[in-house]
Chains A and B, each alone.
Chain A
Amino acid sequence: EAQVTQNPRYLITVTGKKLTVTCSQNMNHEYMSWYRQDPGLGLRQIYYSMNVEVTDKGDVPEGYKVSRKEKRNFPLILESPSPNQTSLYFCASSLFRGGNEKLFFGSGTQLSVL
């Protein structure tokens, strides 16, 4: 089944404790992206990747890192999480660039930073 898989679904952590949210897609998509969803703010892009070893900042990249060493994986790294990073995170992928290609989203990761 074609899908984007994120792990974990739920995560509670404390300020400053490094964490990684994994994302994997099995559709051989070139483009991958991370979004966060906050009440009243909709979906905002954090980082995106056009292909392996090619990543760039989205609208809200501060406090996040990403890597794209393999085509299928695009982990989101929070080196020193803070409470304002409490949010619902979505990974997404598309065949090529995400502009006029429909995005496939993962089921989301609800992160709480205490």
Chain B
Amino acid sequence: DQQVKQNSPSLSVQEGRISILNCDYTNSMFDYFLWYKKYPAEGPTFLISISSIKDKNEDGRFTVFLNKSAKHLSLHIVPSQPGDSAVYFCAASAWGSQGNLIFGKGTKLSVKP
């Protein structure tokens, strides 16, 4: 059973507009969430994270929102730039899980000029 779900395999956005990537989870024990970005032929790189004690974390153009009651988080990119075109993975972990980070399947974002 998939514990971290990214239901949109792809998303296309116009440059300058907002990109919203969504992620749902089923395990109520998850207490830390991360977003990774992956370009072709490269490994994933850490983008932003949020602890379950918060509902929002912001870093420049990137903001992650966490809705614990809905078991849902989202990544907002404002404004979107062509260089943001990549695959974005949502990941989650539970304290005491011995380091097992559970990843979603990823969403491919295309930002068109």
Contacts and interface: CB of A to CB of B under 8 A. Distances in A.
Interface of A: 4, 31, 33, 35, 40-45, 48, 50, 56, 58-59, 90, 92, 94, 97-100, 102-108
Contacts of A103: 36, 44, 46, 101
A40 B105 contact: yes
Given A98-B93, A99-B94, A48 B100 contact: yes
Given A40-B105, A42-B106, A98 B99 contact: yes
A43 B106 CA distance: 9
Given A42-B104, A48-B100, A58-B100, A102 B32 contact: no
A56 B105 CA distance: 23
Given A42-B106, A43-B89, A108-B41, A97 B46 contact: no
- Interface centre among A40, A41, A105, by most B CB within 10 Å? A105
A90 B51 CA distance: 25
A107 B41 contact: yes
Contacts of B95: 99-100
A98 B42 CA distance: 20
Contacts of B93: 98-100
A99 to B, nearest CB: 4
Interface in B49-101: 49, 51, 89, 91, 93-95, 97-101
B100 A98 contact: yes
B19 to A, nearest CB: 19
Interface in B1-55: 6, 31-32, 34, 36, 41-46, 49, 51
B98 A50 contact: yes
B43 A45 contact: no
A42 B105 contact: yes
